């Protein structure tokens, strides 16, 4: 019996395993908030993350991006102060916003559907976004290192996460943009 099991294990093709990659400093997270007919861009410069990626099987990708909510910046500094408050991000109680990528489904050579979970204000909800490949292949300075980057876009209804400040002047639906840049280790 052991011989049969050993032969089966040897004969079965081994699945390529996703490997840890590092988040490149070029990674950016931004949201676009509509306010009285204008769009206010908010950026989050402090973030970290983990990525498991197999360049031969991108559909196995898993990622977790953690954004320091208190690092929010805006062209108008008072807007950033308001957004940190209890009616918007509530950074005193919820210091992190977390995006977990659960499924990457290629739709063409340069696009994919992204499914995951967003945790905002302590509430986790499923989300779906679109991704476009912006770089994919050997690093220009080191052909033994693989690099990849994606622009992930979509929108979320902030009220589903308990963020109700400023309604109706501040729109409930906000645009989300993630430039996810990563490199093999």
pLDDT of amino acid 53:
85
pLDDT of residue 87: 94
User: What's the CA gap between 120 and 13, in Å, rounded?
Assistant: 41
**Do residues 104 and 61 touch, judged by C-beta distance below 8 A?**
yes
pLDDT of residue 54: 82
User: In this predicted structure, what is the pLDDT of residue 142?
Assistant: 87
- Identify the pLDDT of residue 137: 87
Which residues neighbour 84 within 8 Å (Cβ) at sequence distance 6 or greater? Answer: 69, 70, 72, 91
CA dist 4 and 36 (Å) reads 70
Amino acid 17: pLDDT: 56
The predicted pLDDT at position 8 comes to: 28
For the chain, 185 residues long, the average pLDDT of each consecutive 10-residue run is 30 50 91 90 94 85 94 91 95 97 92 96 97 90 87 97 94 94 85
Q: What distance separates the 2 farthest-apart alpha carbons in the chain?
A: 73
Rounded to 5 degrees, φ, ψ at 65 are -115, 125
- Give the pLDDT score at 86: 96
**pLDDT for the residue numbered 143:** 87
């Amino acid at each position: 019996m052991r011989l049969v099991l050993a032969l089966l294990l040897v004969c079965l093709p081994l699945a390529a395993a996703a490997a840890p990659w590092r988040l490149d400093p070029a990674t950016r997270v931004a949201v676009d908030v509509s306010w009285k007919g204008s769009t206010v861009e908010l950026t989050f410069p402090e973030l970290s993350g983990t990525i498991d990626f197999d360049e031969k099987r991108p559909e196995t990708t898993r990622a977790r991006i953690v954004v320091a909510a208190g690092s929010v910046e805006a062209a108008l500094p008072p807007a950033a102060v308001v957004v940190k408050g209890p009616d918007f991000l509530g950074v005193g109680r919820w210091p992190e916003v977390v995006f977990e990528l659960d499924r990457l489904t290629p739709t063409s050579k340069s696009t994919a559907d992204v499914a995951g979970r967003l945790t905002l204000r302590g509430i986790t909800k499923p989300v779906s976004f679109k991704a476009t490949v912006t770089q994919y292949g050997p690093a220009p300075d080191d052909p033994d290192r693989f690099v990849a980057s994606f622009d992930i876009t979509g929108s979320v209804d902030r009220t589903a996460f308990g963020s109700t400040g400023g309604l109706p002047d501040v729109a409930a639906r906000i645009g989300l943009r993630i430039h996810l840049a990563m490199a093999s280790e």
